[in-house]
Structure 1
Amino acid sequence: MKPEIGAWVSIASYISLAIIKLIIGYMANSDGVTADGWNNFSDIVASVAILFGIKIAQKPRDHNHPYGHSRAENISSLIAAFIMMSIGLDVVGKGALSLFNGERDEAPQWVAAWAGVFSAFMMLGVYWFNKRLSERVNSQALAAAAKDHLSDALVSIGTVIGVVGAQLHIFWLDPLAAFLIGIMICKTAWHIFSETSHMLTDGFDEQALTTYEQEIAAIEGVKHVSDVKARMVGNQVILDVTICVDADLTVAKSHEIADEVERMMKQQHHVETTHVHIEPDQNLNRS
């Protein structure tokens, strides 16, 4: 299944939910549902950005992009994070103002609560679909979109809590739920931003590097590993490793060891690109 299918599912879901919530929000006199509708409307922009990122990432490499265009997905994830953060801060601000200053005297109609319940279940379904798809196609952009879907489901649940609270004349539940959900949206956005920026600045998991080094050092003919580093290019790992071998080995035998390193990394860790640099073992020369 192609990764862009997930983006199209997100766009279709957000368009339908935005229309439904805006109509019901105005008809049922629910500020929460109306705001949630505009929230989904703004999510359409993030989903379109992710769709473009996925499309660009699939372009083959050219003379200007020798490593391909995979990092376009990372950029689209950053855009999604910025949009989520802006929405989260807006929800936090409005929730805080309503919590300390606002006072409602009219409860929205029950249909607003049912709209929130329907939206929550729908977004949970889209979250599950895109999360599974992102794992299958190894797409960071879809993984970021899935986290956004989960945040949207929580927003809808908060809307339901607010409507129920208003019906019970507990009007402060609505702004409190909005405030807490806004915090959760901001937290999710920050997680996506920090994870994506770490990859774009060539950060890599130290534990994974240690595992790579230990397994490469265990290959027959490798005396020790003098250097190992890796970076992410889109969703692919690029590994650079320097190994030391017996200085008396022929070029052909040294090349066989390098091929075994590449083969092991591909089979065991799905690393498609491993650059192996071979050096003579200085300890043997000194002996």
Structure 2
Amino acid sequence: MNDQPRDKFGAVSAISNLAFASGKLLVGFAGNSYALIADGFESIADVFSSIVVWNGLRVADKAPDAEHPYGHGKAESIAGLVAACALVVSAIVIGVNAIQEILHPHHAPSTFVVPALLIIIAGKEALFRWLIKASLSSDSPALRIEAWHHRMDSLTSIGVLIGVCIATFAGEGYEVADDIAALLVSGLIVFNAYRLARPSLDELLDRDVSHTLSDQIEQTASDTPGVVRLESLQVRKSGSQHLVDVHLEVDGNLTVTEGHAIAHRLKDRLLENQDLRISHVMTHVEPSDRPRL
């Protein structure tokens, strides 16, 4: 996964969303399913979201330069946050359309809408599983949100499917069922959009990372000859990478050159450990008269 360009996942997601949106609108208009038409317009919003994620990953994977010495990883968090906002917009569109159709009764959908929805649901679920695996491999919040876009879309389609089945097979008076199903699913989408936006927002606000990574860094420091202890440690996340600021204590009787060598040795060990995903380490040396732990 690390050797593959991550932006290809965003590209595939954008193309697939465009195809699904076109299919939903075509079947919705032909089959008289207002919920599926609303779902199709929601998928158009997903196309925009996928394009944002695609470009965010492309920028995030760029190497550091003179103007961006810490890299471009924050672009991924911004893309993830925009994608989460797109989810909310999609939910609002679905909800508003559902209420309008509830207030204006219409004919029941055609039966051929059912198999079309089953194909859409299967395709969306397959995309979710593919992207969620990629997001876990690269620890990518943007890909995670994009994956859940597809899962939410499949859940929306399941709601539409239930409503279409009731409206089609339950007889006269139940035509509104597909609109009610779409309205209920829109609330679920809003909840998940909030839940998925939190990691991206935390990264943009430089929230400290989990204790697990900090413990691994402290263990590496403990195993580095010359390090007495870590006085302070801050770890921020930027895209799929981490930025580390560490103050380490060394024997106060050492020379500046010797203290610098110890700090550089710790820095090299942290950067060489691929499992830690560290792209930048800032070290500061403090004198200590304590015995080494």
Please state which band the TM-score falls in when normalised by the shorter chain: 0.7 to 0.9
1:269 match: 276
> Partners of 2:179 and 2:25 in 1: how far apart?
19
Q: Which amino acid aligns with 2:252?
A: A
Q: CA deviation at 1:209?
A: 5.9
Please provide the CA RMSD for this pair.
2.4
Q: Which amino acid aligns with 1:168?
A: A
> Partners of 2:221 and 2:20 in 1: how far apart?
54
Q: Which amino acid aligns with 1:276?
A: T
SS at match of 1:64: coil
Q: CA deviation at 1:252?
A: 4.3
Match of 1:183 among 156, 175, 187: 187
TM-score under structure 1 length normalisation? 0.88
1:155 match: 156
Match of 1:237 among 242, 262, 277: 242
Q: Which amino acid aligns with 2:22?
A: I
Please say which of residues 54-63 and 30-39 is displaced more in the overlay.
54-63
Q: Which amino acid aligns with 2:277?
A: H
SS at match of 2:112: helix
> Partners of 2:36 and 2:241 in 1: how far apart?
41
Please say which of residues 102-111 and 221-230 is displaced more in the overlay.
102-111
1:69 matched to 2:72? The reply is yes
SS at match of 1:272: strand
Q: Which amino acid aligns with 2:193?
A: A
Q: CA deviation at 1:247?
A: 0.8
Percent of pairs with identical residues: 27
Q: CA deviation at 1:84?
A: 0.7
Is the 1:113–1:159 contact (alpha carbons within 8 Å) kept by the matching residues of 2?
A: no
1:200 match: 204
Is the 2:98–2:183 contact (alpha carbons within 8 Å) kept by the matching residues of 1?
A: yes
The 1:6–1:262 alpha-carbon spacing in structure 2 relative to 1, beyond 3 Å, is: same
Q: What is the number of residues matched between the two proteins?
A: 282
2:130 match: 129
1:168 matched to 2:170? The reply is yes
> Partners of 2:89 and 2:82 in 1: how far apart?
11
Is the 2:248–2:283 contact (alpha carbons within 8 Å) kept by the matching residues of 1?
A: yes
Q: CA deviation at 1:74?
A: 1.6
1:226 matched to 2:227? The reply is no
Is the 1:25–1:112 contact (alpha carbons within 8 Å) kept by the matching residues of 2?
A: yes
Is the 2:140–2:240 contact (alpha carbons within 8 Å) kept by the matching residues of 1?
A: yes
1:22 match: 25
1:211 match: 215
Gapped regions of structure 1 (runs ≥ 5): none
Gapped regions of structure 2 (runs ≥ 5): none
TM-score under structure 2 length normalisation? 0.86
The 1:209–1:226 alpha-carbon spacing in structure 2 relative to 1, beyond 3 Å, is: farther
